[in-house]
Amino acid sequence: KQEVTQIPAALSVPEGENLVLNCSFTDSAIYNLQWFRQDPGKGLTSLLLIQSSQREQTSGRLNASLDKSSGRSTLYIAASQPGDSATYLCAAYGGSNYKLTFGKGTLLTVNP
């Protein structure tokens, strides 16, 4: 059974800092890995999707990497802004079924 862990559970940084959020998964037989953002009381917004054959994906100030062999993914946020404050979730997509297994998320606070 796939298990996804995110560390740290919460992170507080000053504005402008570069930061890394970590995600690990136990079953490397994934089809892809997605990073989502969730604002308080809102739904999930997809940020980046990395296919199992890819090593990384970039969108603006966000860069996500994937290392299947070690069961790890990282989300790098450059030059953080207060508007980046949210909970970030990673989710691994199983290869044999279409199930997304989510981590518990990292609550990010960017202080002005």
Partner 1 sequence: DAGVIQSPRHEVTEMGQEVTLRCKPISGHDYLFWYRQTMMRGLELLIYFNNNVPIDDSGMPEDRFSAKMPNASFSTLKIQPSEPRDSAVYFCASSLEGPYEQYFGPGTRLTVT
Tokens of 106: 């990292």
For residue 90, the one-letter residue type is: C
Compute the distance between CA of residue 93 and CA of residue 101 in angstroms, rounded to an integer. Answer: 7
Between 80 and 105, whose beta carbon lies closer to partner 1?
Answer: 105
Q: How far is the CB of 79 from partner 1 (least distance, A)?
A: 25
Instruction: Tell me which of 13, 49, 62, 107 binds partner 1, using CB under 8 A.
Output: 49
Rounded Cα distance between 105 and 87, Å, is: 6
Structural tokens at position 102:
């989510």
Among residues 12, 18, 26, 46, which is the contact residue for partner 1, using CB under 8 A?
A: 46
Q: Which stretch binds partner 1 (CB under 8 A): 10-18, 58-66, 72-80, 87-95?
A: 87-95
Q: Does 100 bind partner 1 (CB under 8 A)?
A: yes
Taken in order 63, 80, 43, 88, the sign of the CA dihedral is positive
Binding footprint of partner 1 on the chain (CB under 8 A): 31-32, 34, 36, 41-46, 49, 89, 91, 93, 97-105
